[in-house]
Chains A and B, each alone.
Chain A
């Protein structure tokens, strides 16, 4: 088992290499650059000036050369470079923003789990009941909701009209260290993010439960005269929950992507917001830092899924 894990982790490195290479290439090939924005601020900077600046930043070299230096700095010195925008270390900028994103994804995962498991399990248990049909319908409908539309509707309803919850941000002025205030601000973004992933999670849990319920050992347990409650709770549920680890891993990419988009919509200063802004300002070092970190998150999510899958199914060969 440990060799399996080790080999999987070792396999992650070439993956990260490819991801960073592709990112750097795309950034390098995209028109515009970090100096383009300087033309329109306070007083226009001349094109000659901008050329000079590009040279100073090393941007006159082709992208593969710059990639080589970036990779070298990262691998040899653990240095993610300095932002073009304010010359601060990229690592510092990312670390500032990480807690918000982690909070958003973490809370959403918790909410999704807490809601989808009971619903999915109940839908499976009372198959073809009204509850099953209604929850299926809701989850199908939920899958089709554009996440930013839902977010805006919730803001309009709960923040602008009812004034129950704040419209954006992570804290009210003067309440920065107030956890209750912070939670209030996270309610709408978390609900929005969870809603969209709930749709598929309910289906998965229902499917997993259905599969388990049709297994022979369940029939055996029932025929032994065990109470239905014991059958469901003690035997079926535990086995039905096993794929959850895999699911967690598999849904991480879309959760991360969705969180980034939502941060932009709700103006939450997290990694996604920083990343999207950095793409717009062509702050390549920051873009690369965030791409790398997101890729690591996602890749390790998949790794967790694979391991979880292997744990669950002893028939999986560890090759």
Chain B
């Protein structure tokens, strides 16, 4: 793949963000395996986790290729430290309960569908390809998280309370979905990637619509956080995820099975 040297660093950084978001979210979802409320939901969450890790694999492979420093996707996933991870703080938030898991997923899915629609038009063919494949998966993920949000919000008194609680707690992490800096500016200008900011209005409308239909309320406070995962600043949760996720690869470097 021919990469214009002038954008190599930006593209690498951007692909890490995409890959890390999905790797960390996929890992979080995988923690449900064997613990879900019912067998069918166990399989559903494991499916979505695998989709996310599969997408991460695509983005991180491409990142490694773009970086061209003899690293592969596994090196990027297992041998980077916390501050080198560029994922959103939203995706590293703990599962806590099923409501938190669904709300976190819903916030991400509502973003992912329009984002992948735009990303699949990237002039970088490999990137457009991963986006097109991921779009189909994201549409299903949204159907899943949205239908649970509606059912739990408009369900029993207890389910309503739990899901409203999750909405209130996770809301402050959602502003970061629309993070942009000079990395984005350069890539957007050259038609490599879409603008995340441009999706914000649509995201707000859709989230508000579904939240209202679920008889829930969005918090009135702004959804901006002080620090950004995109800059490598993370909540205390990421370190624990990485410790668990990376220990095998780091204890047995180069192991094959």
A and B from one assembly?
Answer: no
Interface residues of B (CB under 8 A from A): none
Interface residues of A (CB under 8 A from B): none
